Amino acid sequence: MNKQMHDLAVWSIEKAKAAGADDCRVSINSRRFVEISYRERKPETIKEASTRNLYIEIYADNRYSGQSTSDLRQDELKDFISNAVTTTKLLAEDPFRTLPEPKYYQGRADIELGIRDADYEKLTPESRHALVKAIEDTSLAKGGEKVISVTASQYDTCGESITITSNGFEGYREYTQYSAGAGITLQDEGDRRPNGYHYVTCVKKDNIPSAEQIGTIAAQRTLDLLGGKKIPTETLPVIIENRVVPRLLGGLLSPMNGGNIQQKRSFLADKKGQKIASDELTLIDDPFIVGGLGSRLYDGDGFATKKRVMIESGVLKEFFIDWYYSRKLECEPTTGGSSNIIIPPGERTVKDIMKDLGRGIFVTGFIGGNSNSTTGDASVGIIGHLFENGQPTQAIAEMNIADNHLKFWHKLVEVANDPWIYSSQRTPSLVFTDVVVSGA
C-alpha cells in the first residue's frame, strides 16, 4: 500500500464530508510509462512520463456527481472538492445513487493475481532499445523486397491505484504491462500499399515472445494481404481469427450490460435463460486468471469479484449489472463489467478445420461497421483471405458481413483450440456457417 496515496484519499474524503457530502468514493491512479518506436533503423519516437489523477464521486442529499483532476496542489484540490459538493447539490435527486451495501465488499478472494512483474525495475533503456531494434530487423528481413516501411515499437508501464469509500471499502492494486510489435507497409500492385501488424501485450516481460517471433509474424501477416480484392457476394463458411473475435463479441457483451437493459437499449433484456447461440458458445467471466490482463479482486463498485458463467452452451445465464442499475432494475447486482472473458477452446487447429470446410473465408481483421445493441443488427467490413481445399488462395478486401446477433451466433459450429492470450478477452478462433459475405 502506498501511504502517500492512501493519506491523500483519506484526506479527500474528509474534505468532501466537511463540505457537506453524505458519502464519497475516491480513486487515485498513478503510473509511469516508457514508449519507444524505431523506423529506418533509428529511434522514431521516445516518450516517457509519469501521471497521477484523482477521481472523486460525491453522494450528497440523494444526488450524485463524479469529478476528476490532475491538479493535485493541496489548496487547489480542497477548492475542487468543495466545489464538487456544491455542484452535486444543484442536481436532481436520484434515490438509486448510493454507495453499495458493505456486504458486497466482503469475501474478497485470497489469490495472488500475478498482475505486477517483480522484475519491472530491471528494465533499462538499453534493453528496451535492443528489443525494438531486433523486432525491426526481423520485420525488414522477413518482409523482403516489397517493404516500404516498418515501425517497430514497445511500451511498458508500471502503475498503482487505490480506492477508498466513506462506508468502509479499501482496495489497492499494483500492475505492470508490456506491449511490443511492428506495423509494416508493403508495395502491392498499382498504388496499393497493404498495412499489416502484429502486437502482443502481457503482464510480465518474460511472457513477451522473442523479437524474432514478433517480427516474423508481423511480416507474414502483412505479406498475406498482398493482392487483396473483393470476390462476388456469396454464402460461405467463415472463420473469425482468435485475436479479432472480441470485436464481434462486443456486440453480444454490450446488451448484457445493466445500463443498456434498464435504458431499453438491449436486444437481450428478455432473453435470460433462453438459447441465444448454438451449443458451441460458452462464455465465462473469470477475474482470477494468474497474469490475466483483466484480473482483479474487486470491481468498480468495490464488490468482491467472482467467476461467472455468462453464457452456457448457448443459454444466456447472467447479465453484467452494477450496484446502481441493480437498484433501478430491482434485482441482485453481479458486476458492472467484464474482467477476463473466456471462451473455452475446442479440440482442433484452424488449419484442420479449414481442411474440412474446403472453401470459406478466414477473417483476420475488421474495418468500420457497427452493432446495434437495441436491435441486434450488425454489419462490419472484413479483411482476410479466401481458402479453397483447405489452403489460402486469395487475400480479400472491400468485403462485408452482416447479420442479426440473435441469428448469427446460432451459426457457430466450432471453436478452435487457439485462445489469444495477449488480451483480457482470451478468445479462440470461431467457425460460422452460412454467412453472407458481400463483395462484388
What residues between 112 and 151 interact with another protein by CB under 8 A? 125, 148-149, 151
Among 9-17, 90-98, 295-303, 353-361, the segment contacting another protein (CB under 8 A): 90-98
Q: Within positions 257 to 316, which residues make up the interface with another protein, using CB under 8 A?
A: 263-265, 267
> Quick one: which of 18, 46, 130, 290 contacts another protein (CB under 8 A)?
46
Beta-ladder partners of 236: 435
Name the minimum Å distance from CB 343 to another protein. 24
Closer residue to another protein, CB minimum distance, 173 or 230: 230
Closer residue to another protein, CB minimum distance, 91 or 304: 91
> Quick one: which of 72, 141, 284, 421 contacts another protein (CB under 8 A)?
72
By CB under 8 A, residue 67 contacts another protein: yes
Name the minimum Å distance from CB 89 to another protein. 10
Closer residue to another protein, CB minimum distance, 6 or 146: 146
Q: Within positions 336 to 365, which residues make up the interface with another protein, using CB under 8 A?
A: none
Closer residue to another protein, CB minimum distance, 137 or 398: 398
Q: Which of 280, 279, 297, 277 is nearest to 288 (CA)?
A: 297
What count of other Cβ atoms lies within 10 Å of the Cβ of residue 179?
Answer: 16
Q: Is 365 helix (H, G, I), strand (E, B) or coil?
A: strand
By CB under 8 A, residue 234 contacts another protein: yes
Closer residue to another protein, CB minimum distance, 19 or 416: 19
Q: Within positions 26 to 45, which residues make up the interface with another protein, using CB under 8 A?
A: 39, 42-45
Among 92-100, 102-110, 130-138, 241-249, the segment contacting another protein (CB under 8 A): 92-100
By CB under 8 A, residue 243 contacts another protein: no
Give how many residues touch another protein by CB under 8 A.
Answer: 80
Closer residue to another protein, CB minimum distance, 351 or 407: 407
Name the minimum Å distance from CB 376 to another protein. 10
Name the minimum Å distance from CB 49 to another protein. 5
Residue 350 near residue 391 (C-beta atoms within 8 A): no
Polymer length of the chain = 440
Residue carrying the nine cell digits 515499437: 153
Neighbouring residues of 423: CB distance < 8 A, sequence distance ≥ 6: 201, 243, 246, 293
> Quick one: which of 370, 389, 391, 394 contacts another protein (CB under 8 A)?
370
What 8-state DSSP symbol labels residue 42? E
Residue 240 near residue 248 (C-beta atoms within 8 A): yes
What 8-state DSSP symbol labels residue 232? -
Residue carrying the nine cell digits 462490419: 380
Greatest extent of the chain over all pairs of C-alpha atoms, in Å: 73
By CB under 8 A, residue 74 contacts another protein: no
Lookup: cell for 192: 496499393
Report the distance separating Cα 166 and Cα 18, nearest Å. Answer: 12
> Quick one: which of 65, 326, 335, 423 contacts another protein (CB under 8 A)?
65
By CB under 8 A, residue 201 contacts another protein: no
Report the distance separating Cα 283 and Cα 162, nearest Å. Answer: 30
Binding mask 372-411 for another protein (x = CB under 8 A): x-xx-xxxxx-x-------------xxxxxxxx-------
Closer residue to another protein, CB minimum distance, 90 or 118: 90
Residue 15 near residue 82 (C-beta atoms within 8 A): yes
Neighbouring residues of 184: CB distance < 8 A, sequence distance ≥ 6: 139, 143, 147, 149, 150, 195, 196, 197, 218, 219, 222
Report the distance separating Cα 146 and Cα 226, nearest Å. Answer: 10
Closer residue to another protein, CB minimum distance, 313 or 375: 375
Neighbouring residues of 105: CB distance < 8 A, sequence distance ≥ 6: 168, 169, 298, 302, 303, 304
> Quick one: which of 4, 7, 14, 48 contacts another protein (CB under 8 A)?
48
